[in-house]
Amino acid sequence: MSSALRIADFAIVSMAPTRGEYERLPEVWAAIDDVEPLRATPLVAAVLMNRTVTNANSTPMFRELMTDEGHTVLSTTIPRREPIAQAFGGPVTELGKYADAADEIETLGAGR
């Protein structure tokens, strides 16, 4: 993973708004911090929340926790939907919210 982080333009950290996934984030941030001295420019990193449940308290709660820690959290979320979960390995026919996420990621890179 460190080689990829050394050459990547962006690090998109995908996570569901759950305690288990949130508790694994320090390892991700540590891996990013480890490669920073080896990079020519700082790595742009952002969290993309996925498998979110509409109107659940968990999404804004974890968004606030990460933002308070100084991390960028994309405003776009990818909702949990059974058709998406069952589409593994199938062709991409409609981008849906992923198009919004791609636009946000592109905007992050515009400032570089």
Residue-wise pLDDT for 47-79, tens only, equals: 999 999 988 999 999 999 999 999 999 999 988
pTM reported for the whole predicted model: 0.73
Residue-wise pLDDT for 16-39, tens only, equals: 999 999 999 999 999 999 999 999
Beta bridge partners of residue 44, listed in sequence order: 10
CATH superfamily membership of 2-110: P-loop containing nucleotide triphosphate hydrolases (3.40.50.300)
Edge-to-edge strands of the sheet including 10-15? 10-15, 44-52, 73-79
CA pair distance 62, 93, nearest whole angstrom: 30
CA pair distance 44, 64, nearest whole angstrom: 19
